[in-house]
């Protein structure tokens, strides 16, 4: 499916002062999907995004965005993408409208069209009433919405969102997710990076995890979570030995082991469907259950599994 990829990266390598930040990564993003790029600090995430958005010229490897090679035709790539940077990129002393106007002019959108799109976009992100407010007077969430509106006003084929919700309160974050889904539903491919695993899980069609300059895994959120293993049920009863006997042979139970308190039962399929049967079986045997708990692997588990637990940001 060559034609359906809107971003294609092959054997990308990048070295800063003799240190390899990116060591030969290959991945592709399909047209219309929300693709997340996860990785600890210093994993090579920013370098890759900077290359994809033409801010950093590629050294070796092939990178195509929206059908154009970033090294050979950076201007065509620039016209096809929108970016919401990780940190706030707003001129504090410009008004909301001026911020949009400046951006539209940078992309040479004709005046009439530009004014129309500014009005439309400000309506979408609910900032119409703040039109003449200087950006320094906006709240964190409003600033982020303005940046998203700005990134979208050029109608990009791909929107890069570099940690779009970091530092936002939970309510605002949920609103942002709605916007991102809306934008995606309207046909824009989204390239997302985030530190919030829950966010990646909720939004992404596919996720790649990068570490030490290499892509360590790629898949849908469900694929990644199930690749980690099975759901686990923690069960505490008045008589664990008897409960274990009773549960032997129940379909979908892979193994039963003793845990700190009670039993830990590994399920080979979806744990939430198996849980009622376990409870039923133990109760039918007349054993009183004092506590039951189902744990599914989360994206956090996936992330830690693939990138390890050591602290990053120490040393280089």
Binding site for other proteins (CB under 8 A): 46, 50, 53-57, 75, 78-79, 81, 83, 85, 87-91, 93-94, 98, 102-103, 105-108
Closest CB 43 distance from other proteins, rounded Å: 16
Closest CB 307 distance from other proteins, rounded Å: 23
Closest CB 91 distance from other proteins, rounded Å: 6
Within the chain, where are the H helices?
45-52, 74-80, 96-106, 111-124, 140-152, 170-185, 197-203, 221-227, 240-247, 271-284, 299-307
Rank residues 78 and 206 by Cβ distance to other proteins and give the closer one.
Answer: 78
Rank residues 35 and 160 by Cβ distance to other proteins and give the closer one.
Answer: 160
Helix, strand, coil distribution of the chain in percent, nearest 5:
40, 30, 35
Rank residues 51 and 299 by Cβ distance to other proteins and give the closer one.
Answer: 51
Closest CB 304 distance from other proteins, rounded Å: 28
Q: Are strands 289-295 and 231-237 parallel, antiparallel or unpaired?
A: antiparallel
DSSP state letter for 285: T
Integer Cα distance of 294 and 285 in angstroms: 21
Rank residues 54 and 208 by Cβ distance to other proteins and give the closer one.
Answer: 54
Q: Do residues 231 and 294 touch, judged by C-beta distance below 8 A?
A: yes
Helices vs. strands in the chain: H and E counts, helices first: 11, 14
Rank residues 5 and 73 by Cβ distance to other proteins and give the closer one.
Answer: 73
Integer Cα distance of 183 and 192 in angstroms: 13
Rank residues 28 and 53 by Cβ distance to other proteins and give the closer one.
Answer: 53
Closest CB 75 distance from other proteins, rounded Å: 5
Closest CB 273 distance from other proteins, rounded Å: 48
Instruction: Report the sign of the C-alpha dihedral through residues 162, 91, 150, 176, in that order.
Output: positive
Distances (CA, A) of 103 to 109, 192, 258: 9, 21, 61
Rank residues 105 and 261 by Cβ distance to other proteins and give the closer one.
Answer: 105
Edge to edge, what strands does the sheet with 158-162 contain? 81-84, 158-162, 189-193, 34-38, 206-211, 214-219
Closest CB 36 distance from other proteins, rounded Å: 21
Q: Do residues 63 and 71 touch, judged by C-beta distance below 8 A?
A: yes
Rank residues 22 and 274 by Cβ distance to other proteins and give the closer one.
Answer: 22
Closest CB 63 distance from other proteins, rounded Å: 15
């Amino acid at each position: 499916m060559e034609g359906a990829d809107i971003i294609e990266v092959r054997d990308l390598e990048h070295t800063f002062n003799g240190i390899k930040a990116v060591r030969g990564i290959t991945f592709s993003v399909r047209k219309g999907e929300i693709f997340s790029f996860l990785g600890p600090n210093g994993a090579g995430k920013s370098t890759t995004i900077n290359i994809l958005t033409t801010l950093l010229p590629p050294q070796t490897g092939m990178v195509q965005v929206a059908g154009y090679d970033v090294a050979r035709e950076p201007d065509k790539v620039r016209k096809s993408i929108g970016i919401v940077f990780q940190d706030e990129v707003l001129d504090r002393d410009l008004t909301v409208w001026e911020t949009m106007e400046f951006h539209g002019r940078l992309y040479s959108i004709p005046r009439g069209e530009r004014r129309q799109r500014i009005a439309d976009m400000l309506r979408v992100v609910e900032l119409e009433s703040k039109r003449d407010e200087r950006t320094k007077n906006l709240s964190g969430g409003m600033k982020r919405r303005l940046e998203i509106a700005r990134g979208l006003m050029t109608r990009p084929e791909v929107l890069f969102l570099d940690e779009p919700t970091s530092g936002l309160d939970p309510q605002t974050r949920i609103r942002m997710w709605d916007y991102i889904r809306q934008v995606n539903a309207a046909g824009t491919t989204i390239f997302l990076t985030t530190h919030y695993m829950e966010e990646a899980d909720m939004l992404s069609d596919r996720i790649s995890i990068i570490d030490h300059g290499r892509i360590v895994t790629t898949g849908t959120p469900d694929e990644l979570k199930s690749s980690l293993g099975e759901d686990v049920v923690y069960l505490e009863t008045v008589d664990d030995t008897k409960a274990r006997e009773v549960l032997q042979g129940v379909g979908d139970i892979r193994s039963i082991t003793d845990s700190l308190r009670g039993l830990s039962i590994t399920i080979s399929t979806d744990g939430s469907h198996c849980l009622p049967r376990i409870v039923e079986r133990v109760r039918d045997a007349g054993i009183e259950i004092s506590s039951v708990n189902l744990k599914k692997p989360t994206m956090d588990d996936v992330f830690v599994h693939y990138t390890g637990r050591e602290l990053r940001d120490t040393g280089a």
